[in-house]
Amino acid sequence: MLENRDEILKMDDAELSRLCELEFFKGTGNGGQKRNKTSSAARVRLAGTAYTAADCTERSQHRNRAAALAKLRIAVAFGERETPAQPPERFECALGHAGYPLWLAHILDVAAEEKWELKAVAAKIGCTPSSLVKKLARDPALWQFANAERMRLELPPLRRP
């Protein structure tokens, strides 16, 4: 359990990189000589934890490191719960926004605290259950996670809006 989850999710790439072990390696698959002959793929591991993320979609080592750090933030947001739950400051947050991992973590904190009962979660966040379901559905990983948690608690899966 991370003691400073929210601070980690708020860090910029340079700060977060200092807490991580970085590894660069040769990517595999399509992409030609650049991809197969240079160490442009990046893997990051948050020191002292099991959280890791990797990316090799770009030809640039710097872009792959940034993408791996973004994936690492999402992994931390999915994996760490804090109680008592704090609702996010605002209900709206774009998937690509820098604050999305923190928003996601707060939504999941509230959902876990309310045992994934949609009406209770929506009331605590300050929205309607249908708008909450729409927010969950826009992120495929979040949608899958939400339904897995609901099934674990023997609740019916959510239906797509």
Give the mean model confidence (pLDDT) for residues 127-139.
96
Q: Tell me, what amino acid is at 97?
A: H
Going by pLDDT thresholds of 50, 70 and 90, the confidence category of residue 135 is very high
Instruction: Return mean pLDDT, the chain.
Output: 92
CB 74 within 8 A of CB 52: no
pTM: 0.91
pLDDT at 39: 81
Asked if the model's pLDDT at residue 103 lies above 70, the reply is yes
Query: What pLDDT score was predicted for residue 71?
Result: 97
User: Residue 35: pLDDT above 60?
Assistant: no
Give 98's DSSP letter. Answer: T
Average pLDDT over residues 107-131: 96
Q: In what order do the strands lie in the sheet with 20-25?
A: 20-25, 41-46, 52-55
Mean pLDDT of 5-32: 88
Identify whether the C-beta of residue 56 lies closer than 8 Å to the C-beta of residue 41: yes
pLDDT for residue 47? 94
| Contacts of range 124-130, beta carbons closer than 8 Å, 24 or more positions apart | 124/85, 124/87, 125/87, 125/88, 125/91, 126/87, 126/91, 127/91, 130/161
Residue 76 has pLDDT above 60, yes or no: yes
Who wins on pLDDT, 96 or 26? 96
- Residue 30's pLDDT is what? 63
